Amino acid sequence: MKKSALILLIVMVVAACAVLTSCQTKAQEPAVEYMDFGLEFKNKTEKTVVGLYLYPAGSAEIYPNIVDGFGMDGKWAAGKVKVYPKGFVTRPIADTYEVKLVFEDGTEMIISDIELLKADSDGRLPNELSFKPDPNDIKVQFDDDEDVQPAIDEAIKAGIPLDGFVPAI
Q: What CATH number did the domain enclosing 129 receive? A: 2.60.40
pLDDT exceeds cutoff 60 at 1? no
The residues, ordered by sequence, that sit 6+ positions from 55 with a Cβ below 8 Å of its Cβ are 61, 62, 63, 91, 97, 98, 100
Give how far Cα 16 sits from Cα of 4, 6, 10, 67, Å: 18, 15, 10, 59
Number of independent structural domains in the chain: 1
10 within a domain of the structure (yes/no): no
29 within a domain of the structure (yes/no): no
Range of the domain at 123: 34-158
83 within a domain of the structure (yes/no): yes
Taking the C-alpha atoms of 21, 23, 24 and 26 in order, what is their torsion angle to the nearest 10 degrees? 130
The residues, ordered by sequence, that sit 6+ positions from 136 with a Cβ below 8 Å of its Cβ are none
110 within a domain of the structure (yes/no): yes
Spatial distance between the Cα atoms of 139 and 74, rounded to a whole number of angstroms: 23
Return the pLDDT at 5: 53
The string of pLDDT tens digits covering residues 104-151 is: 999 999 999 999 999 999 999 999 999 999 999 999 999 999 999 999
